[in-house]
Amino acid sequence: KLLVVDVECTCRSRGEWDHELIEIGVVVVDVASMTVSGDEFHRRIRPTEEPVLTAFCRRLTGLTQADVDDADPLKLVLDDLDTWLLRTIDDDDDATPPRRSSPPRAPRSSA
């Protein structure tokens, strides 16, 4: 099985731009049958760095300003995604849940 993730980000038609997630969707695909298995996760995300979507971004993504204004911030959406992933993995008898570990520690300086 595979997780397929689709995201939309803030954008401009030209120039430098720091992108922020404004929508995320995840589905589980059964590779043997090439079908979506189980439920899917879909959430819109309220941008915080550039909260107003550009006209270009609204046209490209199909999202409205109200869509993101009414959405939860990224932290809450990621918490919900984590819960969904753990439930989805737990529901799959053939899957091995991922082990959680701390990030690697930086080497200590000898000074």
Q: What is the pLDDT of residue 93?
A: 53
Query: What letter does residue 90 receive in the DSSP assignment?
Result: H
Confidence band for 92, pLDDT divided at 50, 70 and 90: low
| Lowest mean pLDDT across 34-38, 66-70, 96-100 | 96-100
Confidence band for 111, pLDDT divided at 50, 70 and 90: very low
SS3 call for 75: helix
**What is the four-CA torsion angle of 89, 39, 83, 68, rounded to 10 degrees?**
150
Encoded tokens for 26? 């995840």
SS3 call for 69: helix
Q: What is the pLDDT of residue 75?
A: 97
Cβ burial of 53 (10 Å; 0-12, 13-18, 19+) is buried
The pTM (predicted TM-score) of the whole model is 0.76
What's the rounded mean pLDDT across residues 68-75? 97
